[in-house]
Chain A
Amino acid sequence: MSKTNISKDNSVANMFVKKEISFGKRLQKKLFNRTNINGTIAILGFFLIWHLLVVLRMPFMKHIPTPVTVLETFINLVTKKVYWVSLWFSTKRVFYGFVAAQVLGIPLGLAMGWSRKFKYLSFPVFEVLRPIPPLAWVPVSILFWPTNELSIAFITFIGAFFTIVLNVLRGVSSIDKELYRSALSLGAKPQHIFRKIILPASIPSIATGMMVGIGITWNVVIAAEMIAGDKGIGRLTWEGYLAGDTPTIIVGMISIGFAGWLSSGIVKIISDRMMPWRKLF
């Protein structure tokens, strides 16, 4: 039989052989790409315009300090323990709420997607609880949980929980039926289906749920701290407001933004690790 078509395929296959690039080159490429350079210019531009607006005494900027003042406050704050303690508390609350939401939400979403009976049983309750905004849980939460920490972590949990469940549920129900069929056709038994097909196939939607969820938890934790917290970066910001200390408010806001961005980055790294097949080229 002919073997001609075999050799010609190798050239196609060769595209997939990894090219070795030195670490330095890679780092350089990573740091100085177009997106990063443009991003830096945009941020610098933002501060410049802000500064100009304040210096030119625009009426709507009356209560806003210049970026320079904010920077001074920032430098002053980061040398103080209270700043780091605040950040630490908020981060802890986000972490616990987020992890709890994943630990409970992922299995629940998988179970709801997997078993129709379970879905019919649980979905109505779920759909009634879901529209309740996390902050509406504050009073009940304070009454229910013995410590303040637990109630804030719980509210944070509520924020991420419904999103993750819905994402996983949607992920499971959109699994291609041909994947199940080909698994069965290749000799998988029905009891293999959950672990071998449903679980890996829903990883991308779990990752999406995590990404959306981490954003929500930061939103929720800050709001909860302003209402009910002691400590925490949200509280620090709020106290800045109570004291009429605008630079502190702005430093608080920027810190929240930065912490949220950093957490999203970490979640992104974790979710990329979970699904190496999605990192195409």
Chain B
Amino acid sequence: MRNNGDEKVIKENTNIALDNSHITKKGALSICNVTKIYDPEGVHVIALEDCSLDIKAGEFVAVVGPSGCGKTTLLNIIAGFDSLTHGEIYLDNELLAAPGVKPKPGPDRVVVFQHGALFPWKTVLDNVIYGPVIQKKMSRDEAIEIARDKLSRLGLKEIENVYPGQLSSGMQRRVEIVRALINNPLVLLLDEPFRGMDSVTKSASHEALLELYDIFHKTIYFITHDLEEAIFLSDTVVVMTTRPGKIRMTIKVDLPRPRDYRMLSTPRFLELKETAKDAVHEEALKAFQRGERELA
């Protein structure tokens, strides 16, 4: 069973799936000509226009682009928090979002937010087991056992009875990622999870995320403003244009895994960074100039 990857069995038995999920090649996202218009009757903000992107199963995609270009909008649509105006999104060839399809968030596409959304009234352990317990996928005791295992792998076991408010932002985000992963999602959606962290916390968080990625190999949609972070973590960096957002370019990051901090100074890394920087800079400039026009 371990090698022929019977998806159904794995899905039903999360315990096994968590340990062998690298063999489940699922979680491919197909974003086809997506347009999102906010408030079509009123202000009519075109956030995304004809945006297309293919994300392979297990691919780590980092999305960058000027502020307000529609990165979060696209994430919200994938997550099922919001509807789209035109186009379709498929998850493993099944229709996920289209006009007229009711958006439906779910544990196959778990989101981690920038400011964190751990439940402050629950301990770390109770936060982590929230998903499987509320879905009635596991009993509380089963969930606790698995959660403890996951937490201890990340060196978070000691804090299982601590409330999130007592943790540093770095630890909070790590707990939140564990809380997402315990659901064995197809896609992990991360909206600037490490923004505003000091550099030490940030690099510890990178290491933790990379380690989790190497274990679980989930599809990841990761929004960031930090190009270095984007390249260091991802397989593909997607640069979006200024609003209305579409994909300006995708950069394949051909650095080997596991990633290591020493790679940050390799010529290849710097080359990739230059390419990304040029593209982002140009879009940011456009956004800036348009901003001035709108003000004038």
CB distance from A33 to the nearest CB of B (A): 22
Interface size, B (range): 35 or more
- B122 — which chain A residues lie within 8 A by C-beta? 200, 277
- A9 interface contact, C-beta 8 A: yes
- A132 interface contact, C-beta 8 A: no
- Are A1 and B211 closer than 8 Å at their CB atoms? yes
Contact with A along B79-110 (1 / 0, CB 8 A): 11100000000000000000000000111011
A6→B80 CA distance, assembly (Å): 34
- B113 interface contact, C-beta 8 A: yes
- Are B159 and A185 closer than 8 Å at their CB atoms? no
- Are B113 and A178 closer than 8 Å at their CB atoms? yes
- A22 interface contact, C-beta 8 A: no
Identify the closest chain A residue to B115 (Cβ): A178
CB distance from B206 to the nearest CB of A (A): 10
- A2 — which chain B residues lie within 8 A by C-beta? 207, 211, 258
Looking at the complex, which of B25-33, B40-48, B55-63, B150-158 is the stretch in contact with chain A? B150-158
- A55 interface contact, C-beta 8 A: no
- Are B154 and A186 closer than 8 Å at their CB atoms? no
A6→B81 CA distance, assembly (Å): 35
- A228 interface contact, C-beta 8 A: no
- B1 interface contact, C-beta 8 A: no
Q: In the complex, which residues 158-186 of chain B have their Cβ closer than 8 Å to any Cβ of chain A? A: 158-159, 161-166, 171, 179-180, 183
Identify the closest chain A residue to B207 (Cβ): A5
A1→B123 CA distance, assembly (Å): 29
Contacts A16-B166, A181-B81, A186-B107 given; does A6 touch B153 at CB 8 Å: yes
Contact with B along A97-127 (1 / 0, CB 8 A): 0000000000000000000000000000000
- Are A187 and B183 closer than 8 Å at their CB atoms? yes
- A179 interface contact, C-beta 8 A: yes
Identify the closest chain A residue to B258 (Cβ): A1
CB distance from A175 to the nearest CB of B (A): 11
- Are B121 and A186 closer than 8 Å at their CB atoms? no
- Are A182 and B155 closer than 8 Å at their CB atoms? no
Identify the closest chain B residue to A4 (Cβ): B207
CB distance from B56 to the nearest CB of A (A): 22
- A182 — which chain B residues lie within 8 A by C-beta? 111, 113, 117
- Are A179 and B121 closer than 8 Å at their CB atoms? no
Q: Looking at the complex, which one of B110, B162, B163, B166 makes contact with A186 (CB distance below 8 Å)?
A: B110
Identify the closest chain B residue to A197 (Cβ): B119
- A184 — which chain B residues lie within 8 A by C-beta? 80-81, 105-106
Contacts A181-B117, A186-B183 given; does A9 touch B154 at CB 8 Å: yes
- Per the CB 8 Å criterion, the residue count for chain A at the interface is 36
- B221 interface contact, C-beta 8 A: no
- B163 — which chain A residues lie within 8 A by C-beta? 276-277, 280
CB distance from A217 to the nearest CB of B (A): 27
CB distance from A183 to the nearest CB of B (A): 8
- Are A179 and B119 closer than 8 Å at their CB atoms? yes
- Are B117 and A5 closer than 8 Å at their CB atoms? no
CB distance from B195 to the nearest CB of A (A): 14
CB distance from B44 to the nearest CB of A (A): 23
- Are B117 and A176 closer than 8 Å at their CB atoms? yes
Interface centre among A14, A17, A183, A186 (most CB of B within 10 A): A186
Q: In the complex, which residues 172-198 of chain A have their Cβ closer than 8 Å to any Cβ of chain B? A: 176, 178-179, 181-188, 192, 196-197
- A138 interface contact, C-beta 8 A: no
Q: In the complex, which residues 190-217 of chain A have their Cβ closer than 8 Å to any Cβ of chain B? A: 192, 196-197, 200-201, 203
A7→B152 CA distance, assembly (Å): 10
- A275 interface contact, C-beta 8 A: yes
Contact with B along A34-47 (1 / 0, CB 8 A): 00000000000000
- B119 — which chain A residues lie within 8 A by C-beta? 179, 183, 197, 200-201
Interface centre among B113, B123, B183 (most CB of A within 10 A): B113
In the complex, the 3 A-B pairs of residues with the closest C-beta atoms, listed nearest first: A9-B155, A13-B158, A182-B117
With A178-B113, A186-B110 given, name 18 new contacts (CB 8 A).
A1-B214, A1-B258, A2-B207, A6-B153, A16-B166, A178-B115, A181-B111, A181-B117, A182-B111, A183-B130, A185-B81, A185-B106, A186-B107, A186-B130, A186-B134, A275-B121, A277-B123, A280-B163
What residues of chain B have their CB less than 8 Å away from a CB belonging to chain A? 79-81, 105-107, 109-111, 113, 115, 117, 119-123, 130-132, 134-135, 137, 153-159, 161-166, 171, 179-180, 183, 204, 207-208, 211, 214-215, 258
Question: What are 20 A-B contacts with C-beta separation under 8 Å?
Answer: A1-B258, A5-B211, A8-B155, A9-B155, A9-B156, A10-B158, A12-B171, A176-B115, A181-B105, A182-B111, A184-B105, A185-B109, A185-B110, A186-B110, A187-B131, A187-B132, A188-B134, A192-B134, A196-B134, A277-B163
